[in-house]
Chain A
Amino acid sequence: MTVANDRQQAGQTKAVSGETLVEVNDLKKHFPIKGGVLKRTVGHVKAVDGVTFSVYKGETLGIVGESGSGKSTLGRMIMRLLEPSEGSIEFDGEDITTLSQRQIRPMRKNLQMIFQDPYASLNPRMSVGEIIEEPMVVQDMFTKEERQERVIDLLKRVGLGAEARTKYPHEFSGGQRQRIGIARALSTRPQMIIGDEPVSALDVSVQSQVLNLMEDLQEEYNLTYIFIAHDLSVVKHISDRVGVMYLGKLAEIAPKDSLYDKPLHPYTQALISAVPSTNIEEVKERQVLEGDLPSPSNPPSGCPFHTRCPEAHERCKEKTPLLTDMGDGHYVACHLYTEPGENES
């Protein structure tokens, strides 16, 4: 597929170099389903089923999808918190797919994660200072004094103040805890941060504080983000490019303006039209999809979306569409845009 080779990305606002930082190639994660008395594998949940894309240095790639689309599994595989079943992940030119957990550890310095639940992701028995210092200790970075200094700098940078370092997580609100999580992620000077629903547990007014902070930090430290979320408005706000996942596959990936203004995949179209907007003067036509997301343990044949697609035809039931280059960095996996026999499997 040509996604990885395409360096001509349109519609970028930030200083994105066009240099590839992460390359994900035909990545799959199949979880076995065990059944019967002998706990034999009776099937597989295809959480991620053949995803290919690249992330460029300095950009924010948003990944959206509904629950069960595989977006979190994808993020965890890139972090190597989950072992991929198939496919490869390259980080900064190095294939990290098959590195052992021991070998992967030095890589994690460059690749950090912020989690959804600010209550569960911080150890309640550690002080905030210890939490932020820990990744640097694990990575054997800096002297003790330098680390202490860095903790204070980071706390100030995320807007908490140096006195926070002697306190414990329970003394902070959800938004403040998410700031602690961000400070921890920044401590090892990473090149990239993966955020898995980093603001979805926060109230609207606090959510905007954290989003603004993430934007400022990106500029300051030239960070690359993969921002995984279900909220299309939030993803549109923060991303340069956006990928839409459906049942473990990428349905569409494009620069954000092109994706939101001219979505090509019928699923993306329905998804965007379903987002409620506060702009009440503009009455929009809502496309309501029928039915629910099919089970990833028994995905439909052919195009995974054909069971709910208003445009589905015979070919969609038989052949799986592959991502097709529509120009200007816009890729879509849909038979509407290809001739039979072209880009399908």
Chain B
Amino acid sequence: MSNETLLEVEGLKTYFHIEGKVAKAVDGVDFSIDRGETVALVGESGSGKSITSMSIMQLIPSPPGKIEEGAIKLEGKDLLSLSEREMMKVRGNDIGMIFQEPMTSLNPVFTIGEQLAEPMVKHQGMNKKDAKKRAVELLKLVGFPRAEETVKEYPHQLSGGMRQRVMIAMAMSCDPKLLIADEPTTALDVTIQAQILDLMQDVKKKYNSAILIITHDLGVVAETSDRVLVMYGGQIVENASAKDLFTNPKHPYTVGLLNSMPDVADEKERLESIPGTVPPAHNFPDGCRFAPRCKHAMEACTEAVPKLRENEPNHHVRCILYEDQGGEKE
């Protein structure tokens, strides 16, 4: 893995203005992804993980959504300063995306081959015949044994796992530097999930793409990722290598999440539970957003939002418990 930075997200704020309220879905997110690195963005529903990825792709419906502040740099180029036309080139060429719903993200009236060929004709100026040929190659790569016939089929003829393979083939068709996968296996059964996760690793090795995988499943994170970003209330609360995060979690939210999850390999007598629910984005508590649910919460937690600090080398935590240790980050 090279240490060259591919994507940098700085101070990203994406707000939604709905009925006079402001929902701070993403509220000051900083992270970077190196070339060839797999980074997981984890959080519960409402934590802002999907909005972060949609902001990178600039697919936020506007209005009501708006990227208020921040920078998103791909190889040093600020994506937020690009026109829609230029951004269209980035999507597909530089960044590929896989969505959660393999059922709805393919167009039902076009054949698999037509849908695979379209971005190659559009983005890479291939002629239709070459694009068709390449579509067959791509389908073989993602494990379709009868790729020549599959290109002539329609989405409804394929199962959920097969459709997700097609989505991966489509995302890889332009050889992207970054692949964003938003809950790529959530809608799939566990045996099919294993197939898709393996396939993503194979494809990544072949193309040396970086992957940003968005998921709520910590098991999937442990099996796929080099580094993990834990999101809560629109902010990153912990940023660490996967090994560090699972063996030495620091933020009380991360610890609670790990202890509340049943695991096949690790019997727990009783699950820990985090009281309460994720706060809505238009009504975050003052100070640390996790404080109302945190068993370590103290007076000072409600006064100001703690900063994301590097507590140990390459291990960043946003929690007052660790503020007197380690160096400043921001």
A residues neighboring B (CB under 8 Å): 66-67, 173, 175-176, 203-209, 211-212, 215, 230, 232-234, 236-238, 260, 270-282, 284, 286, 288-290, 292-293
Nearest opposing residue in chain B for A172, CB measure: B277
Q: Which A residues are CB-close (under 8 A) to B286?
A: none
B195 touches A288 (CB 8 A): yes
B78 beta carbon closer than 8 Å to chain A: no
List 25 interface pairs A-B (beta carbons < 8 Å), by A numbering.
A67-B189, A203-B278, A204-B218, A205-B44, A208-B271, A208-B273, A209-B273, A211-B262, A212-B273, A232-B190, A233-B262, A237-B262, A237-B267, A237-B268, A271-B190, A274-B190, A276-B220, A277-B223, A277-B265, A278-B258, A280-B222, A280-B246, A288-B198, A289-B195, A292-B159
Interface string of B28-51 (1 = CB under 8 A from A): 000000000000000011000000
Interface string of B265-279 (1 = CB under 8 A from A): 111101111110110
B109 beta carbon closer than 8 Å to chain A: no
B287 beta carbon closer than 8 Å to chain A: no
Interface residues on B, range: 35 or more
Nearest opposing residue in chain A for B185, CB measure: A276
B266 touches A279 (CB 8 A): yes
B260 touches A279 (CB 8 A): no
Q: Which A residues are CB-close (under 8 A) to B223?
A: 276-277
B184 beta carbon closer than 8 Å to chain A: no
For window 194-218 of B, CB contacts with A under 8 Å fall at 194-195, 197-198, 216-218
B264 touches A173 (CB 8 A): no
Complex partner residue of A205 from B256, B265, B268, CB under 8 angstroms: B256
Beyond A204-B216, A277-B266, 4 additional contacts (C-beta under 8 Å) are: A66-B189, A280-B247, A288-B191, A292-B192
B9 beta carbon closer than 8 Å to chain A: no
B242 beta carbon closer than 8 Å to chain A: yes
For window 147-185 of B, CB contacts with A under 8 Å fall at 159, 161-162
User: CA–CA, A173 to B223, complex, Å?
Assistant: 31
B262 touches A275 (CB 8 A): no
Given A66-B189, A67-B189, check contact A232 B260 (CB 8 Å).
no
B54 beta carbon closer than 8 Å to chain A: no
Minimum CB–CB distance from B294 to chain A (whole Å) comes to 12
Given A232-B190, A280-B242, A292-B161, check contact A204 B261 (CB 8 Å).
yes
A173 touches B277 (CB 8 A): yes
Q: Which A residues are CB-close (under 8 A) to B246?
A: 278-280
Q: Which B residues are CB-close (under 8 A) to A284?
A: 265
Minimum CB–CB distance from A169 to chain B (whole Å) comes to 15
Complex partner residue of A237 from B44, B257, B271, CB under 8 angstroms: B271
Complex partner residue of B45 from A203, A233, A277, A281, CB under 8 angstroms: A203
A275 touches B219 (CB 8 A): yes
Given A230-B190, A274-B193, check contact A212 B270 (CB 8 Å).
yes
Q: Which B residues are CB-close (under 8 A) to A273?
A: 194
Nearest opposing residue in chain B for A207, CB measure: B260
User: CA–CA, A67 to B189, complex, Å?
Assistant: 7
User: CA–CA, A264 to B242, complex, Å?
Assistant: 32
Complex partner residue of A208 from B194, B220, B272, B278, CB under 8 angstroms: B272
Nearest opposing residue in chain B for A13, CB measure: B269
Complex partner residue of A66 from B191, B217, B258, CB under 8 angstroms: B191
Nearest opposing residue in chain A for B277, CB measure: A173
